[in-house]
Copies of this chain bind each other. A is one copy, B any other.
Amino acid sequence: MSVDSAALLTQRLSRRAALTSQELEELGNLPYSRRRLAPATYLVREGEPVTFCAILLEGCAIRHKIVRDGGRQIVSLCVPGDALDFQSLYLEYADHNIQTLTYATVDLIPVSAFRDLTSRCPGVAKAISKDILIDCAMLREQVTSLGRRDGRTRFAHALCEFAARSPSRLSQDVEHHLTITQEQMGDLLGLTTVHVSRLFKDFEKNGLIDRNRGTITYQLSDELIEEGDFNSLYLHGDEVPLRSA
């Protein structure tokens, strides 16, 4: 398969802000090099300078931080189409790690090329700002979940968010597939693998998810939305409408 990162990026940014034809062209001309990455490959490490901006074409990646006692917190999940390093476009050092979760395809664009582009194209700069702001909004929701929702609710919420953001969600009642270990899910939800295991079992028993060899399959049902206290407002339109006519 040959997804075009330029096309993907252009499409994404166009959704954020109106771009002139010249801006579109400049976006198309960004230099990039494609990489195929194994699961668990680090793209960025906390404390290190970042010199390229990666666009995720296929697969999933995570941002995470490590705390004193060795615990890991997954700060966000990245899905295809996400730019992994707008974060570092203007910041010198990475404050967190970025790592692939599955096999993944990325296009690497030199940060310098990106910086040139944004200083010349205000429309692109605006679209990127908006993209970053949506990231912020998702982080605020994550903070809210971790601070004030219990494990069950957090889990359901995370499933809803993943489904709502998934590019595969073009029509209603699609089945979503999430390949993630229970340890990873625990690190995302701020829970233990043991506890996640029990939640998985419970959700499966209640028919909210199906499981098969490390991947879970589910639909974005009303029940799940209710269970997860999920309201897609915070995605700011970065999702397919929940109730398409």
Q: Which residues of A contact B (CB under 8 A)?
A: 16-17, 46-47, 63, 65, 67-68, 71-73, 75-76, 86-87, 89-93, 95-96, 118-120, 122-123, 125-126, 128-130, 132-137, 139-144, 146-149, 153, 187, 189-190, 229, 233-234, 236
Contact = CB atoms under 8 A, between A and B. Distances in A.
A96 B140 contact: yes
Contacts of A72: 148
Contact of A73 (B119, B120, B132, B143): B143
14 contacts: A16-B90, A46-B233, A73-B147, A75-B144, A87-B137, A91-B137, A92-B236, A93-B233, A95-B233, A119-B122, A120-B122, A122-B125, A125-B129, A139-B142
Given A73-B144, A143-B75, A133 B47 contact: no
Contacts of A236: 91-93, 95
Residues of A contacting B: mostly: helix
Nearest to A128: B129
Contacts of A146: 143, 146-147, 190
Name, among A126, A148, A187, the residue most crowded by chain B CB atoms within 10 Å (CB to CB): A148
Given A93-B233, A122-B118, A229-B68, A87 B136 contact: yes
Given A139-B136, A140-B65, A143-B139, A90 B233 contact: no
Contacts of A133: 86-87, 89-91, 132
Contacts of A67: 144, 148-149, 229
Given A73-B143, A93-B233, A118-B126, 16 more contacts: A67-B229, A68-B153, A73-B147, A76-B140, A87-B133, A89-B133, A90-B130, A92-B236, A93-B236, A95-B140, A96-B140, A118-B129, A122-B125, A125-B129, A142-B143, A146-B190
